[in-house]
Amino acid sequence: MAEAFRFLSGLHLDLRMDWKVVCFLLVCGVSVSLQAKIPNAYKKYTASTEGCPCWWDLTKTTECGCCKEGVNAMQCGYPKHKYCHKKTKIGCPGIPANKFTLSSKGYPCFTEKERVTDCAWCIPGRYQCSGKKKAMCSTGKLKQCDAVMSDCHHIPHSCDVNASCVPNGKFQKQTLYKCQCNDGYTGNGIQCFDSEGNMGVDPKQMVSVTMKVNSDYYLYPHTPDQFPNGALLDSLISEMSAANNSCTSNECEVT
């Protein structure tokens, strides 16, 4: 009986050890699988493919890759935003025209009057393309694309409402400019946040508001043309009229 007990105990221990080995192999397998998703060009510099804010769009707080520390790494721009690469003055491999382009989106488009941040973020001194090539930057030669210098001096609506356009050195004897968040705000200049994490809203930005107001009113005896709007709707009409009267030019209209 004693011999049998020792045999069964040993078997139980072996089985338990086998499960530990299996679990260890599974964990390692998952880790290797996740690491395999990172291409070799970025593996040395990328800690994870998500969990960090995107430098080119700070509203995306966890959708970009996190870089390893101590390897002189930089986070890549779109569409390689899941990875990091060796820190240089040009864009990461895989980004269109990366010698001139840091990110294929994130910078306001010079062709749009509104602040649509759907165009390329260029290396200082390079030109933002338009149309079908808006996701890349160039040297500015017309044969490459219709473009303008990609800074806030040439694209006036680039900066956040709480940022200023300031000099940023020179490139080939030409003064460059960049958007810089004002005191009390942090961000990349295109997007600035206050101490509570709120991003500013441009007062000139066009917005559309749709409201549905129901008003019940009972009138007896009934008199033609005497059915009123009601107190709530009369108040709303009055406030909208006041807002419309505040427009001193054709820049705004309330309808």
Residues 193, 186 contacting (CB under 8 angstroms): yes
Rounded CA-CA distance 76/73 in Å is 9
Mean pLDDT of 17-43: 57
* Per-residue model confidence as pLDDT tens digits over 97-108: 999 999 999 999
* Per-residue model confidence as pLDDT tens digits over 185-243: 999 999 999 999 988 776 666 556 676 766 666 666 666 666 666 677 778 778 777 77
Residues 147, 97 contacting (CB under 8 angstroms): no
Backbone phi, psi, residue 109, to 5°: -80, 135
* Per-residue model confidence as pLDDT tens digits over 69-106: 999 999 999 999 999 999 999 999 999 999 999 999 99
pLDDT at residue 246 in the model: 67
Considering the chain, what is the average pLDDT of its residues? 80
The torsion defined by the Cα of 35, 78, 99 and 137, in degrees rounded to 10, comes to: 170
Q: Is the pLDDT of residue 249 over 60?
A: no
pTM summary value? 0.67
Rounded CA-CA distance 203/161 in Å is 8
